[in-house]
Chains A and B, each alone.
Chain A
Amino acid sequence: MNCQEIREQLDAALDNQHVISNQTNAPRHAEVLSHIESCSDCRVLYEEHLVIGTALAAWVPQRPADDLTDRVIDAARQAGLVSSNGSAVAGTFDSTSMGNADPRVGRLDSDAGVVVPPTADSTSPQGRNIWPTVVTVALVLMAVAIVFREKPGTVADNNPDPKQLVPEQPPELFQPPQDQVADVSHLVADAQSAWQGITSRVSHQASGFSVFVPDLKDDLGISNELKSATDSDNSSDDAIPRKSSEPSAVEKAFEFLFKDDDSSGTLTI
């Protein structure tokens, strides 16, 4: 082993936080020790190596003041980096709080090295205290919604008075001119004559179906005169009771429409 290799071995040992001495048993260390016995330059390097090793073994890291954590947190809070709902109280955290059993407060997981956030257990006092607030807020929102929905006046305030929308005087009824009234009378007369023509024609063509007429008239409550007029053809309908001795409006209409054209006593429709 030459001098360059000795230097590399000494540096490598310090890199691994080790010191080469006669108390170590590595085979390469024995070679180093045998070399320095005969090399003055390397022996100087080896003595420096031992001094550094001794100093490193006695070196205690410098620690900051105890209040540095609080100072940093305060500065971070002033910078807006700490949330306002932080669960910890300044100055209360230290390594002894790692085993905090209170579920409302975050704890430091010593195994994982991370902070476990507070649990939101509904059975905890914190969880129970949330529900009254939630219910209250929900009720207030519902009340506001009802008030604004059932208060049309607040919306109609800007609308015109409904009375103004209705004119005080009703509109004038349509009055046809006098010269057109005569034309309407002619139209009515023409309609009457046309109707009479139709009824006479129908009665002539449907005279063979007169047997069915009493049934229809009985169902509609036809008068005695019409009933008796049909008895000659069908007398089995007497069991049907009369509803009234006075002719009804329908009966009168039938008398008007289906009156006898002759005095033969037979009904023609």
Chain B
Amino acid sequence: MSEDVQLVQQCLTGDELSMRAFLSKYQGLVFSLCLRMLGHREDAEDVAQDSLVRVFRNLEKWDQQRPIKPWLLTIAANRCRTALEKRSKLPSQNDLAIDLASERREHSKHEQEQLDIGEELELALGELREDYRTCFVMYHQEELSYQEIGEVLGCPQGTIKTWLHRARAQLAKRLQDRGVVADPSMLEAT
């Protein structure tokens, strides 16, 4: 029996401690997707909360033979789409920029450069199409496979691979337009 199966079975009993352990393990994943799809921190937290409550309500429907991450992200992605339909507008990149600016802290020059590049990537992500952005985040941040992303977004693997390639290309152009250049010292870490 996998760790996820044990944890889910304990959550199904309504045990609060198990539910908190489940949240500590997966709420970041759900929130991250919501933030990428909605582009607004407060909205992302609201939708993440709604998504996670729905997850607990439907835990018995999870197929224990399959990984839980795509199942979680499918629920979150559906809730994000519903929120976007209600909002009737695409996520504003300005909202995300403001959020990121408010989280600035004092760092060393190197750390600040890294943060700057990371923030530039966030800004560039905000300009991408939603499906490109979601695909990029799921692959590079949540480390889902093509197949798992396809299950979440309801698309074949070929489509996911194409979207990911286009997302990288568009991000690279936007980053270069913003003056971001490759840093050899950072490449050493990759």
Of B14, B27, B124, B176, the contact of A69 (CB 8 Å cutoff): B27
- Which B residues are CB-close (under 8 A) to A14? 168
Q: Is B19 at the interface (CB under 8 A from chain A)?
A: yes
Binds A, one of B61-69, B73-81, B113-121, B151-159: B113-121
Task: Enumerate chain B residues within 8 angstroms of A199, measured Cβ to Cβ.
Answer: none
B183–A60 touching, CB < 8 Å: no
Assess the A51–B181 pair: CB atoms within 8 A: yes
Compute how far the CA of A48 lies from the CA of B53 in the bound complex, rounded to whole angstroms. Answer: 40
Interface string of A94-116 (1 = CB under 8 A from B): 11000000000110100011110
Q: Which of B78-102 contact A (CB under 8 A)?
A: none
- Output the nearest chain A residue to B176 by Cβ-Cβ distance: A51
Interface class of chain B by DSSP: helix
B residues in contact with A202, CB < 8 Å: none
| Given A54-B117, A58-B118, A113-B25: A81 touches B14 (CB 8 Å cut-off) | yes
Specify which of B20, B31, B49, B184 is in contact with A88 (CB 8 Å cutoff): B20
A141 to chain B: closest CB distance in Å? 29
A68:B31 contact, CB within 8 angstroms = yes
Best-surrounded residue of B17, B124, B181, B190 (most CB of chain A within 10 A): B17
A76/B27 in contact, CB under 8 A: no
Query: Which chain A residues border B106 with CB–CB below 8 Å?
Result: none
Contact between A59 and B53, CB atoms less than 8 A apart: no
Q: Which residue of A lies closest to B44 (CB)?
A: A64
A56-B140, A64-B48, A68-B45 known; A73-B21 Cβ under 8 A: no
The residues of A that contact B56 with a CB separation of less than 8 Å are 72, 76, 79, 81
Query: How many interface residues does chain B have, given as a range?
Result: 35 or more
B-facing mask of A12-26, CB < 8 A → 1, else 0? 001101110101000
Q: Kindly list chain B residues whose C-beta atoms are within 8 Å of the C-beta of A83.
A: 13-16
Judge whether A3 is part of the interface by a CB distance below 8 angstroms: no
A62 and B10 in contact (CB under 8 A), knowing A48-B176, A93-B21, A115-B17? no
Interface residue A146 (Cβ < 8 Å from any Cβ of B): no
Q: Please tell me if the beta carbons of B141 and A59 are within 8 angstroms of each other in the complex.
A: yes
CB-CB under 8 A for A54 and B182, given A48-B172, A81-B14, A82-B16:
yes
Query: At the interface, yes or no: B135 with Cβ under 8 Å from chain A?
Result: no
Is A252 in contact with chain B by the CB < 8 A criterion?
no
Q: Is the CB of B15 within 8 A of A60?
A: no
Chain B residues within an 8 Å CB radius of A88: 15-17, 20
Q: Are A51 and B182 in contact (CB under 8 A)?
A: yes
| Given the contacts A54-B180, A72-B23, A64 and B14 also touching, CB distance less than 8 Å | no
A135 interface residue (CB < 8 Å to B): no
- Structural contact, A17 and B17, CB atoms closer than 8 A: no
Q: Which residues of B contact A61 (CB under 8 A)?
A: 28, 32, 141
Question: How many angstroms from the CA of A47 to the CA of B168 in the assembled complex?
Answer: 12
Q: Within the assembled complex, what's the spacing in Å between the Cα atoms of A73 and B113?
A: 38
Which of B7, B172, B188 is the one whose CB lies under 8 Å from A114?
A: B7
Which residues of chain B have C-beta atoms less than 8 A from A69's C-beta?
20, 23-24, 27
Q: Let me know if B171 is at the binding interface, CB within 8 A.
A: yes
Contact B6 A114 (CB under 8 A): yes
Within 8 A of B (CB), among A60-94: 60-65, 68-69, 71-73, 75-76, 79, 81-83, 86-88, 90, 93-94
* A127 CB–B CB distance under 8 Å: no
Nearest A residue to B168 via CB reads A52
Q: A23-B187, A83-B14 are in contact. Are A52 and B28 (CB under 8 A)?
A: no
Residues of B whose CB lies within 8 Å of any CB of A are 3, 6-7, 10, 13-21, 23-25, 27-28, 31-32, 35, 41, 44-45, 48-50, 52-53, 56-57, 113-118, 120-122, 124, 139-141, 165, 168-169, 171-173, 175-176, 180-184, 186-190
- Residue pairs across A and B with Cβ atoms less than 8 A apart, 26 shown, are A23-B187, A47-B182, A51-B172, A51-B175, A59-B118, A59-B140, A60-B115, A62-B32, A64-B45, A65-B45, A72-B49, A73-B16, A73-B23, A76-B53, A81-B14, A82-B14, A82-B19, A86-B16, A86-B17, A87-B15, A87-B16, A93-B20, A112-B3, A112-B6, A114-B3, A114-B21
